[in-house]
Amino acid sequence: MHIPDGFLAAPVWAGLDAAAVPAVGYMVRRAQQGFAETRAPLLGVMGAFVFAAQMINFPVGVGTSGHLVGGALLAYTLGPAAASVVMTAILAIQALVFQDGGILALGANVLNMAVVGVWAAYLPFRLWGGGRGRKWALFTGAMLSVLASALLAIAELVVSGVKLPFPVLVVSVVLFLVSAALEGAITVVVMEALETVQPDFVHRPAAGRPYAASALAITAVLLAAVGILFASTHPDGLMSLAGAAGIAGRARPLVSSPLADYELRFFSGPWPRKAAAGIAGLLLIYAVCAMVGRWVSRSRSA
């Protein structure tokens, strides 16, 4: 989902814009290692393909429709760094020419969809895409891609003070799950068809990778995103839940982590504090993603 301008709080869009610059720069450098400047047209044309494919609407629910986001498909056929560059290009055109997504919010959208979205898709594929569980790896990757970017977007909105009462949140998450499943299904079907049409498009990563640690990392990332989401909206809800479950006593030390009650000392006033803590949480997620990504690629070359 493309966040327009006017929704995100200043520390959020500014912080994410600042974070997006080195992230995109890194992706560009990595993509160029695999693709010299000669290959820019290929990436551009594949971006146009995804764009065209995105215009096909698949109804998801009452009044909402989903479409192929394409991050996973691109990651599986072009590799994740090139996929990130292509998605960034897509988002830029969408913001500039189609008013889909804001300009100041571009950093957030890029990090959500072109970085996290792409790499979240790539990890399961990298780990399980070579073996018997390939279909599931593709499906899970694509699902994760949409889910992670959508949850992050919601998290950023919530942290910026956009009101999302519980029922609306639940409905949104359900819709995201449906879109994510749709993305998974479409991606699998297209990849299978591609294998018949043009087999050399499809990567086959080496089978038999150790997946326990990475599965944990992916789950942690998702839980962190969801956790920030819920904690930001319903700290009281969480506390009362804890009380009802009888762990209220134990809940105290759990909550007094470095970001205890989302307080950071050097900000006065409640709103900047919350937002800053939210940002810190988000950056933590990105850092975890980056570390896992580097770990995976290092173990790939091993």
Site for other proteins in 95-154 (CB under 8 A): 95-100, 102-104
What burial letters (b/e) apply to 236-249, b meaning 16+ CB within 10 Å? eeeeeebeeeeeee
Dihedrals phi, psi of 124, to nearest 5 degrees: -60, -35
Which residue in 16, 19, 31, 279 binds other proteins (CB under 8 A)? 31
State the Cα–Cα distance between residues 152 and 108, nearest whole angstrom: 9
Could you tell me which stretch among 1-9, 143-151, 258-266, 289-297 binds other proteins (CB under 8 A)? Answer: 1-9
Instruction: Give whichever of 192 and 280 is closer to other proteins, judged by the CB atom.
Output: 192
Report the 10 Å Cβ neighbour count for 201.
12
Which residue in 190, 217, 225, 231 binds other proteins (CB under 8 A)? 190
Instruction: Please report which residue ranges of 198-265 form alpha helices under DSSP H.
Output: 212-233, 235-244, 248-255
- Tokens 């988002």 locate to 91
State the Cα–Cα distance between residues 287 and 291, nearest whole angstrom: 6
Q: Smallest distance from the beta carbon of 60 to other proteins, in angstroms?
A: 7
The β-bridge partners of 58 are 66
Q: Residues touching other proteins: how many (CB under 8 A)?
A: 73
Non-local (6+) Cβ contacts of 183 within 8 A are: 66, 68, 69, 72, 142, 143, 145, 146
DSSP 131: S
Report the 10 Å Cβ neighbour count for 257.
8
- Tokens 């494919």 locate to 53
What mask, x for binding other proteins by CB under 8 A, covers residues 75 to 94? --x-------xx-xxx-xx-
Q: Smallest distance from the beta carbon of 13 to other proteins, in angstroms?
A: 7
Which residue in 175, 185, 239, 241 binds other proteins (CB under 8 A)? 185
State the Cα–Cα distance between residues 242 and 247, nearest whole angstrom: 5
Instruction: Give whichever of 44 and 237 is closer to other proteins, judged by the CB atom.
Output: 44
Within 37-66, which residues bind other proteins (CB under 8 A)? Answer: 37-38, 40-49, 51-53, 55-60
Instruction: Give whichever of 162 and 248 is closer to other proteins, judged by the CB atom.
Output: 162
Which residue in 152, 186, 221, 282 binds other proteins (CB under 8 A)? 186
Q: Smallest distance from the beta carbon of 118 to other proteins, in angstroms?
A: 14
Within 152-181, which residues bind other proteins (CB under 8 A)? Answer: 157, 161-165, 168
Does residue 298 belong to the site contacting other proteins (CB under 8 A)? no
